[in-house]
């Protein structure tokens, strides 16, 4: 799978010109949506950091920029793009972030990544573990309940969320590697189940002001801002995982 992701996102490993994202009240895409909610602190973790474009937006707000990426090639591109900034690359999956200490991260960001992860519960458990008490998670993913997707289903077509032609636009990864499909409610329930307290839900898109009137139907993406609720009672798997990491 890593080889396929490297092929899908192949680059020349030269430093890319990354524009600074303007913060908008009504964000037009998944990156603007995260930047609009992000702040500053000590340690920031981007799960699925890709080529480092999103971490670059927070380069002056955090003391450490930690990027977790499954594709070694994309992680190397991130290293090139973030040269000169306090970037810490980690190659691996969100299902096992044992390279990161428990309760050590101030904020996690993740743009259109959770749908790629085979074990969603395990990944969210790891997010909860590495965040400090009251640490923030800003996460987004395509909205399978978007009105356009509903019409595709009515027409008897699969509502793919990454590639056109029902996800069969290339022969590398079906639907760009998307394995799961979320609504606002389903993502919220997963996060709450594993100990997060939801602070905000919002949509985004080219007509974000209108789309946020009814984001569950009109937004192409789901974004949730949540905090680690240190008082929450979470599953035994989380406690077991903490024991494993802390020895």
Does 235 have pLDDT greater than 90?
no
Of 230 and 45, more confident? 45
pLDDT of residue 1: 86
**Residue 154, exposed/middle/buried by CB under 10 A (0-12, 13-18, 19+)?**
exposed
pLDDT of residue 231: 83
What residue segments make up the domains of the chain, in order of their start?
A: 2-246
Tens of pLDDT, residues 209-218: 999 999 999 9
Report the pLDDT averaged over residues 27-34.
Answer: 97
Report the pLDDT averaged over residues 3-10.
Answer: 84
pLDDT of residue 245: 42
Question: Could you say which architecture CATH assigns to the domain 2-246?
Answer: 3-Layer(aba) Sandwich (3.40)
Using alpha carbons, select from 142, 143, 114 the residue that is nearest to residue 127. Answer: 114
Instruction: Classify the phi-psi angles of 156: left when phi > 0, otherwise alpha if psi is within -120 to 50, otherwise beta.
Output: left
Window from 14-28, 80-94, 223-237 with minimum mean pLDDT: 223-237
Rg (CA), the chain: 18
What is the rounded average pLDDT for all residues in the chain?
Answer: 93
Longest alpha-carbon distance in the chain: 53
Task: Give residue 234's pLDDT band: very low, low, confident or very high (50, 70, 90).
Answer: low
Tens of pLDDT, residues 105-133: 999 999 999 999 999 999 999 999 999 99
Does 12 have pLDDT greater than 90?
no
Phi and psi (nearest 5°) for 81? -65, -30
Tens of pLDDT, residues 177-198: 999 999 999 999 999 999 999 9
């Amino acid at each position: 799978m890593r080889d396929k992701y490297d092929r899908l996102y192949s680059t020349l490993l030269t430093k890319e010109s990354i524009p600074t994202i303007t913060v908008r009240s009504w964000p037009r895409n998944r990156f603007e949506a995260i930047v609009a909610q992000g702040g500053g602190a000590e340690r920031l973790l981007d799960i699925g950091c890709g080529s480092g474009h999103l971490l670059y937006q927070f380069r002056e707000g955090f003391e450490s920029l930690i990027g977790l990426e499954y594709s070694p090639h994309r992680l190397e591109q991130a290293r090139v793009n973030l040269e000169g900034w306090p970037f810490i690359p980690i190659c691996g999956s969100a299902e096992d972030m044992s390279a990161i200490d428990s309760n050590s991260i101030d904020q996690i960001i993740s743009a259109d990544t959770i749908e790629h992860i085979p074990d969603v519960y395990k990944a969210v458990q790891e997010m909860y573990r590495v965040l400090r008490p009251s640490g923030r998670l800003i996460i987004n993913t395509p909205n399978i309940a978007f009105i356009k997707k509903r019409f595709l289903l009515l027409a008897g077509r699969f509502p793919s969320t990454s590639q056109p032609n029902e996800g069969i636009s290339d022969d590398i990864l079906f639907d760009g590697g998307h394995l799961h499909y979320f609504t606002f409610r389903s993502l919220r329930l997963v996060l709450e189940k594993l100990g997060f307290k939801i602070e905000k839900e919002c949509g985004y898109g080219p007509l974000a002001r209108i789309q946020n009137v009814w984001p569950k139907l009109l937004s192409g993406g789901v974004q949730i801002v949540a905090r680690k609720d240190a008082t929450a009672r979470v599953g035994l798997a989380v406690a077991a995982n903490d024991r494993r990491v802390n020895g």
